[in-house]
Amino acid sequence: MSIAGRMAPTLITGGAGFVGTNLADRLLAMGRPVLIFDNLSRAGVRENLRWLQDQHNGSLEVEVADIRDADAVNRAVAKAGAVYHLAAQVAVTTSLQDPVQDFQINALGTLNVLEALRRHQPAPPLVMTSTNKVYGNLNDLGLRQTAQRYVPAQPAIRANGVSESRSLDFHSPYGCSKGAADQYVLDYGRCFGMPTVVFRMSCIYGPHQFGTEDQGWVAHFLIRARAGATIEIFGDGCQVRDILYVQDLVNALVIAVDEADSLAGHAYNIGGGPANTLSLLELLALLREQRGLRPATRFSPWRNGDQRYYVSDTRRFRSATGWKPTIGAPEGIKKLAAWLDELDQSTASAAPAMAVRQ
């Protein structure tokens, strides 16, 4: 379908991934055209793309290209009325194995997007998804350990989580590459007057997530448990994260573009907040309670860059927009499990060919 005669599409880099699929689905349902830019390298993304095209009857435009290709990025940005930059290398472990590739995708890829936007002034709004890893290991947080979780000693951290006032402390090549991208996005906004917003995200989960032990741990645990496979836990399992159901993240992403003029120039912590926290051991207990799943576990040493405790203080974004999570952890995990059940029950017939524009 040609974009002629339509409003300019919203460009989503990495748009066939987990978050991008849910975001594209929402925007298309709202009647907003979408251009997905993705190299289709990650497991599950082709299935996501087929699902999107089935749902939206071929109304989706797709560019199969790599974020490291500056010319391809420039051509895609030239069409866009708004940009969500989600394309990334997402695992600390992978960054330790190949730091150069990690830098090229996360830092240089983001710079390609920013330069393309700078060439096409007035630049459309840009929302870039960063990570809580920009705050480092958080080893200075005073923690006490209970049977199933770590608990911060500081009442303010217990009540609210980690705020954006926390000093940046990049740790691991992944932390450095995403941190550099995070800062470039904010500085391009400042230097070139571009409406840029950064989301420093915690753990997102939900449908269309094919989680692994390196990224997407909630889905990974559920997938492994349903298969009766052993789950490997790095550390002691008491590490705590706040988790956010993907539809709540999509709500925030839509708001960020729609209100970019007032939000621009800032980074916002986005996650489930203190009301939606789980340790790894607590998630296993919840899977036993909800689904009767009792997977075998194997414990391995802590990995480089692991945080024992991270919970997002989301008050800055909530104060600016009124946004807050609406789906709690138990409900969200039931929804993810239901999606996995539906996936299992889907027919094994050959998928239709994808309409892809090169």
Residues with catalytic function: 174
| Whole-number Cα distances in Å, 104 to 58, 67, 89, 113 | 32, 9, 9, 13
- Residue 71 backbone dihedrals phi, psi, to 5 degrees: -65, -45
CA 252 to chain centre: 12
Residues 6+ apart with CB under 8 A from 258: none
Phi-psi region of 228 (alpha: psi -120 to 50; beta: other; left: phi over 0): left
What is the SS3 assignment for 323?
coil
AA letter at 301: P
Q: What are phi and psi of 298, to 5 degrees?
A: -135, 130
- Phi first, then psi, for residue 228 (nearest 5°) are 70, 25
Sequence-ordered alpha helix ranges (H) in the chain: 18-29, 45-55, 70-79, 92-97, 99-103, 109-119, 155-160, 172-192, 217-226, 246-258, 260-263, 280-291, 315-321, 329-345
Rounded to an integer, what distance in angstroms lies between the CA atom of residue 221 and that of residue 284? 8
Parallel/antiparallel/unpaired status of strands 231-234 and 150-152? unpaired
What is the spatial distance between Cα 42 and Cα 64, in angstroms, rounded to a whole number? 13
Q: Is residue 73 within 8 Å of residue 35, measured between CB atoms?
A: no
Q: Give me the residue label for tokens 């990049």.
A: 170
Largest CA distance in the chain: 61
Spatial contact of 31 and 6, defined as CB atoms under 8 Å apart: no
